[in-house]
Amino acid sequence: MFPLDELRPEWTPLHPYTPSDSTDAPTFPSPLGTASWGHDGFSHDPGFLASQEELRCMLFNIAQSAAPTRAPSPELHALRDSELPTRPVLSSPRRIEYLKNYVGQVAPWLDMFDSQCTFRVQIPALARSFPALMNAILAISARQMERKEGIQDSFDSLELYQEAIRLLSPLLQMRDPKVVAACVLLCCLEMMSARAQDWQRHLEGCAALFESFGMNGFSSDLLQAVFWCYARMDLCGALISDGTQSTLLRPSKWLAPGCHEDDAAQLFQAVRSPDMHANYAVYLCARACELVADRTQFMELGVQNGCNGEVFNRRCLRLWDDLQHWLDSRPPELLPVHTTTTKPLPHILFLHWAAISSTQLYHTACILLLNTMPKSVKLPPTSVTSALWHARRICGISLANPHQGCLNNAIQPLWIAGRLFSHRSEHAIIIDLIRHIEAETGWGACWRIRDLELAWGYPASRSNHATRPRIPITQ
C-alpha cells in the first residue's frame, strides 16, 4: 500500500488547528437540539467521552507533528497490521452478525457516490490484516444496530470503539491509508449519536488530519473514497450551522494542489465519471455554505473577509452559473428516469445511487443562494429561480428513492426545504419522511422535526401523527 507521504513529499504545516473547548466553540443553532435529540446514553457515557477526547488529541498531535515524514521506528514496524497485539471483544457469531450488517446496512451510506464500493469491498478486505480498521468497522456497525433497535444500556460499539482507538494510537505516525479510513469510520460513528451542537467537535480532528496530510478529493484510490466520505459529513455540519459556518476544511482544500476554484468544473469533468460529477455537487453545495457563512459573518459580526455587496453579488452569480452548468452537464446516469406531477409533491425517480443525493444537494445549494441573494441581483424568472420549486424537488426525490445509502444524507436538505412549505399536508409528508429515515437507518433525524415545528409555528408531529396513515415511499 502506498504511503501517504507520497502525496506531499515535503510536508509543511498549514494554518494550525486548535481543538475547540466545548464551552467556547460556537454551537449550531438548533434551538431545541438538546431537548429534541433522542439520546440512548452512548454519547454521555464517560468511557466514550474519554475515548473521543483521546482520539481527537491523537489526530491533532499527528497533524501538528514537526517531523511527520521520518521513517517509522523499528517499534512501529513491529506493531504493523496483524502483528499488533489485540484482545478479543466479541464472540465469533456476534462478529459475523456485525460484519453482515456493515455490508448490508452501513457500507451503502459510505459508498453513496462510489460505484467501486470501496467501503463495502476494499476496506473490509484490508481490515482482515489490520485489527484497528476491523474494530472500527465492527464498531460503526454495532452502533447502527444499537440505534436502530433502540438499545439503551449495553453497547458493544463502545468496547469496539475503544479497542480501535487503542490499536490506532501507536500507528498514526505511519500515515497508512488504512489508519485514515479507520479514523473516518470512527468519526462517522460519533456523529451518528451526537447532538447537533457537537458535530463540529467530531469533525475537526479529521479535518486537521486531512489538511496536514495534503489529502483532497483527487487523491488516489482508497484515499479519494475516504476523503469524499468525510467531505459529505463536513458539508452536513455546515448545513446544520444554518448559514453561520463553512465546512471545517474549506472547499478550496478539496481540489487538487494548485487548482483555483475557477478551474474546478474542468477538474471534475476531466475525470469523466458519474461519481465524480456527483462529488462536484457536494463541492458546489459546500461553496454555497461558505458563501452564505462569509456573508453572515461580514454583515452580522463585522468580520473583514471582503464579502461586501459587490464581491458578494459577483460570487453569487458565479456560483449560480456553476450550479446550473452542473445540472445541464449531468451524464446520462445521473438523469431522472421518471417524474410524476402528483400532489402535493412530485415523485422523481433515479436509478443511479449517486444521482439521488447529488441532485438533492444541487437543489439545496440553489435554495441557500436564492434565500441570500439581494434583490439587486436579477435572475431570469423561471422555475429554477423559485426556492419553493427546489424545495418540492428535494422532497420529491426522497419520496421516490428509498435507497438505503441515500436516506440519511437527505435529513438536512429536507429540513432546509421543509421550512419553505406552508400547507399542513406537506408538513405531514415531510415529518413522515424524516421519521422513516431514522427508523430505517438508525441515524438521528427526528430532532429536525422539532426545528421544523418552530419554523411552522405549531406542533405538527403531535397534532397530525396519531391520525395520519403512513405515506408510501413510491407512487
Q: Of 385, 332, 386, whose CA–CA distance to 355 is shortest?
A: 332
Between 42 and 313, the higher pLDDT residue = 313
Q: Are strands 347-349 and 338-340 parallel, antiparallel or unpaired?
A: antiparallel
Summarised one tens digit per residue, pLDDT across range 335-385 is 999 999 888 999 999 999 899 999 999 999 999 999 999 888 888 889 999
CA torsion 89-93-98-103 (nearest 10°) is: 140
Q: Of 435, 411, 423, whose CA–CA distance to 343 is shortest?
A: 423
Distance (Å, rounded) from C-alpha 227 to C-alpha 256?
12
Full-model pTM: 0.86
CA torsion 165-170-175-181 (nearest 10°) is: -20
**φ/ψ (deg, to 5) at 457:** 90, 15
| Contact predicate 445/474, CB 8 Å | no
Query: What's the whole-number mean pLDDT along residues 223-244?
Result: 94
Summarised one tens digit per residue, pLDDT across range 273-292 is 999 999 999 999 999 999 99
pLDDT at 39: 56
- pLDDT above 70: residue 104: yes
CA atoms within 13 Å, Cβ hemisphere of 428: 14
Of 71-75, 196-200, 325-329, the one with minimum mean pLDDT is 71-75
Summarised one tens digit per residue, pLDDT across range 26-47 is 443 443 333 334 456 787 888 8
The residue ranges of every structural domain in the chain are 1-19+38-237
